[in-house]
């Protein structure tokens, strides 16, 4: 450990690690501590002219809790994402989950579909869903006049939410499988830079929300009566108690039989008494229990939707 790091550790590192644990839900073990330290030292070099004490004072005394969370989100969370990440998930959504939702809603006389992408990073996941809905409208699968789609994207990081709202993307965001005609939802604004079309942008409401805050479900955060929550590749980085509390809250956000979509390696976090595993071609989704079994879905014909 360098002297700089030792000095940072003495001053604030332990405070930061404890704060990140409580307020961001992140466990920073010894291996990660060194990495975090190096990144903070770089930031201190740039913004505090190498003055570690000035940084410590600023961080501990001048910032309020939310400001500390926002600052740290940059250093202790992973923003990795791209359009249609894990393509099978979107296929399963479009071909299995959406038809079922529509059928159920029609029976109930309810014409609103409510979705939340929690931990949406820079917006690619939420916009992928918006494009799917737009295609469903354009193909005549659903009528735009009949259905109201509420689609919300949230993240702990104000920087990422600002980028999501802006909707400007580089080629790295397009590195996954994506039907080529979906590129028509973007216009080129520079070399390898694309901006999302206003019609898709308007379909998603982006907001900053820390999943560690007990602000959901609530009317204020518009996280009540949801049909489906996407929260993928977020739990991977959180400590188990935090995940359990978030799952309890998600459960309450969802309508009976509502859906939760997590990444495959995160499925095991959801206990089987509360969440039913619904295995679909391309993905396994979680469904809030108690409620209908998955049999209604199993007989559908599987074919490409794009
Ligand atoms: C790896 S990205 C996943 C993005 C997208 N869901 C996907 O699968 O492509 C994880 C995101 O979760 C966000 N995140 C981490 N902890 C969070 C928390 N406590 N509350 C809200 N968002 C959080 C991070 O800021 C980051 O943007």
The CATH number assigned to the domain with range 87-298 reads 3.40.50.150
Q: What integer pLDDT is reported at residue 42 of this predicted model? A: 87
Q: Is the CB of 25 under 6 A from ligand 1?
A: yes
Ligand 1 center–CA 156 separation, angstroms = 7
Task: Please give the Cα distance from 156 to 24 (Å, whole number).
Answer: 8
Residue 85: count of CB within 10 angstroms of its CB? 21
Q: Is the CB of 211 under 6 A from ligand 1?
A: yes
Q: What integer pLDDT is reported at residue 11 of this predicted model? A: 66
Tell me the H-state helices in 85-180.
87-92, 98-108, 124-138, 158-166
Ligand 1 center–CA 246 separation, angstroms = 13
Q: What integer pLDDT is reported at residue 72 of this predicted model? A: 94
Return the H-helix or E-strand segment holding 71.
helix 65-76
Ligand 1 center–CA 176 separation, angstroms = 18
Q: What integer pLDDT is reported at residue 299 of this predicted model? A: 42
- Asked if residues 82 and 124 have their Cβ atoms less than 8 Å apart, the reply is yes
Specify the ligand 1 atom closest to the Cα of 209.
Answer: 21
Helix-helix angle 65-76:30-47, to 10 degrees: 110
Q: Is the CB of 160 under 6 A from ligand 1?
A: yes
Q: Is the CB of 155 under 6 A from ligand 1?
A: yes
Tokens representing residue 273 in the block: 């008494």
pLDDT tens across 265-289, in order? 999 999 999 999 999 999 999 999 9
Ligand 1 center–CA 232 separation, angstroms = 8
Residue 290: count of CB within 10 angstroms of its CB? 10
Return the H-helix or E-strand segment holding 73.
helix 65-76
Pocket test for ligand 1, best of 28, 72, 77 (most atoms within 8 A of CB): 77
Tokens representing residue 120 in the block: 């949406």
Q: What integer pLDDT is reported at residue 292 of this predicted model? A: 44
Q: Is the CB of 85 under 6 A from ligand 1?
A: yes
Task: Please give the Cα distance from 213 to 218 (Å, whole number).
Answer: 12
Residue range(s) of every CATH 3.40.50.150 domain in the chain: 87-298
pLDDT tens across 213-253, in order? 999 999 999 999 999 999 999 999 999 999 999 999 999 99
Q: Is the CB of 120 under 6 A from ligand 1?
A: yes
pTM here is: 0.92
Q: Is the CB of 77 under 6 A from ligand 1?
A: yes
Could you read off the pLDDT tens digit of each residue along the chain, which spans 306 residues?
566 666 766 668 889 999 999 999 999 988 888 888 888 888 888 888 878 888 888 998 999 999 999 999 999 999 999 999 999 999 999 999 999 999 999 999 999 999 999 999 999 999 999 999 999 999 999 999 999 999 999 999 999 999 999 999 999 999 998 888 999 999 999 999 999 999 999 999 999 999 999 999 999 999 999 999 999 999 999 999 999 999 999 999 999 999 999 999 999 999 999 999 999 999 999 999 964 444 455 444 444 444
- Asked if residues 192 and 171 have their Cβ atoms less than 8 Å apart, the reply is yes
Q: Is the CB of 232 under 6 A from ligand 1?
A: yes
Tell the residue nearest (CA) to atom 12 of ligand 1. 119
**Phi, psi of 280, rounded to the nearest 5 degrees:** -120, 160
Half-sphere exposure of 81 (CA within 13 A, CB side): 26
């Amino acid at each position: 450990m360098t002297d700089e790091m030792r000095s940072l550790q003495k001053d604030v590192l332990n405070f930061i690690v404890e704060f990140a644990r409580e307020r961001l839900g992140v466990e920073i073990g010894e291996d990660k501590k060194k990495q975090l330290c190096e990144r903070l030292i770089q930031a201190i070099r740039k913004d505090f002219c190498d003055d570690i004490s000035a940084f410590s004072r600023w961080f501990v005394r001048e910032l309020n809790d939310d400001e500390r969370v926002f600052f740290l989100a940059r250093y202790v969370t992973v923003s990795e994402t791209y359009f249609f990440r894990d393509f099978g998930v979107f296929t399963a959504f479009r071909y299995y989950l959406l038809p079922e939702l529509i059928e159920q809603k029609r029976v109930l006389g309810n014409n609103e579909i409510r979705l939340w992408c929690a931990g949406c990073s820079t917006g690619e996941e939420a916009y992928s869903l918006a494009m799917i809905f737009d295609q469903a409208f354009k193909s005549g699968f659903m009528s735009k006049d009949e259905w109201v789609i509420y689609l919300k994207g949230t993240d702990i990081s104000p920087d990422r939410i600002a980028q999501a709202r802006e909707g400007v993307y580089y080629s790295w965001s397009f590195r996954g499988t994506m039907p080529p005609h979906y590129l028509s939802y973007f216009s080129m604004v520079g070399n390898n830079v694309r901006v999302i079309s206003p019609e898709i942008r308007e379909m998603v409401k982006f907001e900053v929300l820390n999943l560690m805050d007990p602000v959901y479900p609530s009317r204020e955060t518009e996280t009540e009566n949801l049909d489906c929550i996407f929260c993928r590749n977020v739990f991977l980085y959180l400590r188990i108690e935090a995940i359990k509390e978030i799952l309890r809250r998600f459960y309450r956000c969802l309508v009976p039989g509502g859906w939760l979509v997590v990444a495959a390696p995160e499925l095991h976090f959801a206990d089987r008494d509360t969440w039913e595993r619904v295995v679909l071609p391309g993905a396994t989704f979680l469904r809030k229990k108690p409620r209908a079994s998955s049999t209604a879905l199993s007989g559908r014909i599987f074919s490409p939707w794009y």
